Structure 1
């Protein structure tokens, strides 16, 4: 059985979350520098069976693509060229950063801990993955 890996793509940092092998539980995996993302993914799929990538799709309130979609499209091309055997699905990621921040507050993290943008990215990826699992 394979895992589902979710990516909250950012120009500087990218949050990553993954399911268990039964595809029931979404857990934050890590945050990586985006320039190292393809290398990280190649190394990860050598160790773990990944059967699907979930990529966040940033939208504006009027349902149009956000300006960061251009960068994600370039990443998707690179991902397809590098790992064409793994399919990709997109998930609306509106509000995930706000939800991640609220999750941090609800978890009792200190203000200093809540300033950790890498943690916000990882939690956002987890929320994207949970959303996918819930709606599939």
Structure 2
């Protein structure tokens, strides 16, 4: 007959292997943060730039199913509860929506565009300087 400790270990391992234990821990952390969050404390106004940055972070977190981390971000940042419209974000980030960009998170597409422009700028600098750095 299994001891109580062995039974606890099996249950813990099973929950851990299924990914449930991590979700439970994340949920507890989110609830603790929500309980400790002082609603009377005024937060600084959320600028448009920070709202867009927070939304990209939220999109990343939700894409990766970090929903409790996302809820803490929304709670602490003052971000609107409802996500911003994806088309609005794409327009603000100058991301052209196509079949490929709609299947990836906007953060990835925005970073891809940034790297392309950086490479183009560097290439233009090399051409202007005769290939010298």
Q: Which has the higher contact order (CA 8 A, sep 6+)?
A: 1
**More strand by proportion, 1 or 2?**
1
The structure with the larger Rg is 2
How does the TM-score come out when normalised to structure 1?
0.28
How does the TM-score come out when normalised to structure 2?
0.28
